[in-house]
């Protein structure tokens, strides 16, 4: 579901990725998002997809009982492994989330800044695949960007399915066209329509956070 260009882009961006967390205007929003996340995962066993450089892994490890942090890019995981964590609470694994198999029972799945890279048409299927990685009754947590003019990279184009794209430039001058969809609560109502689900959707300035539990969905109606 994530195309090769996006995977390559993040692999090459890895060395400079954490610079985005140093943006002064986002510090308060990052703190609020981190506090909400730490509260949700407290005492729980977490499967993290697309962990990147481990910024959110490090936050969750402060309160979770255990975190398995996964990413498709070894360059990202190498940076994540270099951060400090409480002893014995974090493991890492190279994994493609669309083909992943796990041998442990997780009661939380967290995906940070990955939702926006999934085609709107594929969201239901993607969520159904993720639900199979956690035990029944698990909590699903996602966070991603709110579009803020003059703060986010401008939208360069869109397609017939409503997906939007940005042109991303790396320090070496290379350019990539990356799918970046910005979610709103109305879209969630449509996604979860007719489903027996209660979800929480919060906005922390530049970021949103979505959480819900899996029993409201069945494997059939999400595939």
Q: For 85-125, write each residue's pLDDT tens digit.
A: 999 999 999 999 999 989 889 999 999 999 999 999 999 99
- pLDDT tops 80 at residue 146: yes
Q: For 52-90, write each residue's pLDDT tens digit.
A: 999 999 999 999 999 999 999 999 999 999 999 999 999
**pLDDT score for 13:** 98
- pLDDT class of 10 with cuts at 50, 70, 90: very high
C-alpha to C-alpha distances, 58 to 52, 151, 152, nearest whole angstrom: 11, 25, 24
pTM: 0.94
**pLDDT score for 120:** 94
C-alpha to C-alpha distances, 69 to 21, 61, 79, 92, 138, nearest whole angstrom: 19, 10, 12, 5, 17
Instruction: Report the percentage of the chain scoring pLDDT > 90.
Output: 83
What is the C-alpha to C-alpha distance for residues 127 and 115, in angstroms, rounded to an integer? 10
What is the C-alpha to C-alpha distance for residues 117 and 168, in angstroms, rounded to an integer? 13
- pLDDT tops 60 at residue 218: no
- What φ, ψ does residue 82 adopt, rounded to 5°? -80, -10
- pLDDT class of 221 with cuts at 50, 70, 90: very low
- Mean pLDDT for the stretch of residues 25-46: 98
Classified as helix, coil or strand, 166 is strand
Contact 39/64 with Cβ under 8 angstroms?
no
Contact 179/7 with Cβ under 8 angstroms?
no
- What φ, ψ does residue 222 adopt, rounded to 5°? -115, 0
Domains belonging to the chain, first-starting first, are: 4-149+182-222 (3.40.50.150)
- pLDDT class of 216 with cuts at 50, 70, 90: very low
Where helices occur in the chain by DSSP H, the ranges are 4-13, 27-41, 55-60, 74-81, 123-131, 185-191
- What φ, ψ does residue 160 adopt, rounded to 5°? -70, -15
Contact 164/157 with Cβ under 8 angstroms?
yes
Strand ranges inside 44-188, DSSP E: 45-49, 66-71, 90-94, 108-112, 139-145, 157-158, 164-169, 175-179
**pLDDT score for 190:** 82
DSSP state of 149: T
What is the C-alpha to C-alpha distance for residues 179 and 51, in angstroms, rounded to an integer? 18
Q: For 149-187, write each residue's pLDDT tens digit.
A: 888 999 999 999 999 999 999 999 999 999 999 998 788
Q: How many residues does the structure list for the chain? A: 223
- pLDDT tops 90 at residue 34: yes
- Mean pLDDT for the stretch of residues 39-45: 99
**pLDDT score for 215:** 60
- pLDDT class of 220 with cuts at 50, 70, 90: very low
């Amino acid at each position: 579901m994530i195309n090769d260009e996006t995977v390559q882009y993040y692999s090459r961006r890895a060395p400079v990725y954490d610079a985005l967390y140093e943006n002064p205007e986002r510090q308060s929003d990052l703190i609020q998002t981190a506090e909400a996340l730490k509260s949700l995962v407290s005492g729980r066993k977490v499967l993290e997809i697309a962990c990147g450089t481990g910024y959110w892994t490090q936050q969750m490890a402060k309160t979770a009982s255990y975190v398995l942090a996964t990413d498709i890019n070894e360059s990202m995981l190498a940076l994540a492994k270099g951060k400090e964590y409480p002893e014995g609470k974090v493991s890492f694994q190279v994994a493609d989330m669309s083909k992943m198999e796990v041998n442990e029972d997780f009661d939380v799945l967290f995906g940070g800044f990955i939702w926006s890279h999934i085609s709107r048409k594929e969201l239901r299927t993607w969520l159904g695949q993720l639900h199979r990685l956690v035990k029944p009754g698990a909590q699903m947590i996602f966070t991603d960007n709110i579009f803020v003019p003059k703060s986010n990279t401008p939208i360069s184009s869109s397609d017939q399915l409503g997906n939007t794209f940005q042109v991303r430039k790396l320090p070496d001058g290379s350019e990539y066209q990356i799918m970046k969809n910005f979610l709103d609560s109305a879209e969630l109502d449509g996604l979860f329509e007719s489903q027996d689900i209660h979800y929480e959707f919060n906005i922390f300035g530049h970021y949103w956070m979505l959480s819900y539990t899996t029993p409201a969905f069945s494997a059939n109606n999400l595939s």
